[in-house]
Amino acid sequence: LAAAAEPRRIISTAPSITEALYALGLGDRVVGVTLYCRYPANAQRKTRIGTFLEPNLEVMLSLKPDLVLVIKNPVQVAEKLRKLGVRAEELNQDSIEDILRSLDQIGRWTGTEKRAGQLVADLRAQLDRVRAEAAKRPKKSVLFLVGRSPGTLQGMVGAAGGTFVDELMTLAGGVNVLRDSPIQYPKVSLEQVLSTDPEVILDMGDFAHVEGKPMEPLSKLMEIWGKYPRLRAVKSRQVRQVDSEIFIRPGPRMGQA
């Protein structure tokens, strides 16, 4: 009876949920994903239902889903879907513990509890290994930029305390220079970078990468930051290009990140 009740047609409304579904071996049951769901590659063949904040309800309904997975968000997608008679379940993925809990929940709702339990155990082991390795080394102050304007240090946005990116950095031995910001992803000024003078700068490049466009060449990154040779991170060549979505996807690839 339980097997009959397992959802066969699942819609994901966030890239991290899509990754989780595939990691649990549920790729063949996924019927719809967002425009930004690019991993794994097979996910790109699924019907697109819009974006996380602007999902297309008509397209979603046309896919006749028996489960829609939603991250808690300000546009109340789950509520709207429930009013239309669709089963929608909300997940919270703010912190590492929330993310691990969300994997367990997806396992429960889809009849893959055992596989989810294994995935969570593997992730915990990966994170524990990183934590143990980091404990042997001196801590370093870090700035993590999730984006900025193309070719310039204008329009910078960083990851602050209260984000899973901050938790991952802390776990890996970093001290986030933005940890006390009241906003999770605050705007960062050049003055701020110069005054906090981080030992390591992790730069995701311009916001075009979010749409899957190629990253700026490394030489361009060095040219941009090279204008500020007094910065410790520039002096010690610790400005690093972070060119993978794994750092901003709260899901099964956290250990890797």
Measured from the Cβ of residue 76, the count of other Cβ atoms closer than 10 Å reads 13
88-91 and 140-147 strand pairing: unpaired
Q: What is the predicted pLDDT for the residue at 158? A: 96
User: b/e map of 35-69 (b: 16 or more CB within 10 Å)?
Assistant: ebbbbeeebeebeebbebeebeeeebbeeebebbb
Instruction: Kindly report the average pLDDT of the chain as a whole number.
Output: 92
pLDDT > 70: percent of the chain: 95
Is residue 214 predicted with pLDDT exceeding 90? no
- The amino acid present at 127, given as its one-letter code, is L
Model confidence at 3, in pLDDT bands (50, 70, 90)?
very low
Q: Is 51 helix (H, G, I), strand (E, B) or coil?
A: coil
Mean per-residue pLDDT for 51-55?
Answer: 88
Give the pLDDT confidence of 65-86 residue by residue, as tens digits.
999 999 987 778 899 999 999 9
Model confidence at 155, in pLDDT bands (50, 70, 90)?
very high
d(CA 112, CA 104): 9
Is residue 108 predicted with pLDDT exceeding 90? yes
CA 90 to chain CA centroid, nearest Å: 17
Mean per-residue pLDDT for 38-53?
Answer: 93
156-158 and 187-188 strand pairing: antiparallel
Mean per-residue pLDDT for 80-102?
Answer: 94
Give the pLDDT confidence of 109-145 residue by residue, as tens digits.
999 999 999 999 999 999 999 999 999 999 999 999 9
Q: What is the predicted pLDDT for the residue at 176? A: 98
Q: What is the predicted pLDDT for the residue at 1? A: 37
Cis check: omega of the bond before 250, within 30 degrees of 0: no
Q: What is the predicted pLDDT for the residue at 213? A: 65
| Predicted model pTM | 0.88
Which ranges of the chain does DSSP label H, i.e. alpha helix?
A: 2-5, 15-23, 57-62, 77-83, 96-110, 113-135, 164-171, 190-196, 218-226, 232-235
